[in-house]
Structure 1
Amino acid sequence: MLLAKSLNKGIMLRLKELFDQLFVQALEECCGIDCADTGRILDYCGDWQFDTTTDRSVQSSMRAAAHDLKCYFAYHNLVDTPYGEIHKWINY
């Protein structure tokens, strides 16, 4: 699961670029994948696809993630916390 902080209308125009950056950063920091390999992984994945409907399992996962993040940010400042720390917390 990826978390994007401080989204605004201007960033929405560059959403694919933002998700690419977040995904690569998560692969490197959370999974220890080498920087040279992340480009090939992005190429292999192709374009991002977004579903407009969610089923109960997705809703349940989002509810659990929201609870986990609420607990995490009770002790950490959202603005000062690097993405890598957040991704490690939410994905492990």
Structure 2
Amino acid sequence: MLLSLVLQLVSEGKLELSRALDAVTAAPARCLGIQAGQLETGRPASLCVLDPAGVKDLREDWLSAGNNSPWRHAQLKGSVKLTVCQGKVSWLSD
């Protein structure tokens, strides 16, 4: 959901794509003082592959027991298709 919400800000012209991607990748790593958020030769990759035109329907995919969210019934653009963590596939969509 975070990535979809960030991409919504990009589509509304409120945030540049490069800044949005930095905010969810390299910037948190810099704040924590860890080497992550970048692809480098010789290091295990951590990344996600997304379909920016795909739609995430939160009405169908809501996993939380809590229902107090402004996005509970939203449809957001940008669906994650694949997640790789430390070089290993950790999630793959249908």
**Given the two structures, how large is their TM-score scaled by the length of structure 1?**
0.33
Structure with more of its chain in helix, by fraction:
1
Structure with more of its chain in strand, by fraction:
2
**Given the two structures, how large is their TM-score scaled by the length of structure 2?**
0.33
Larger relative contact order, structure 1 or 2 (CA cutoff 8 Å, min sep 6): 1
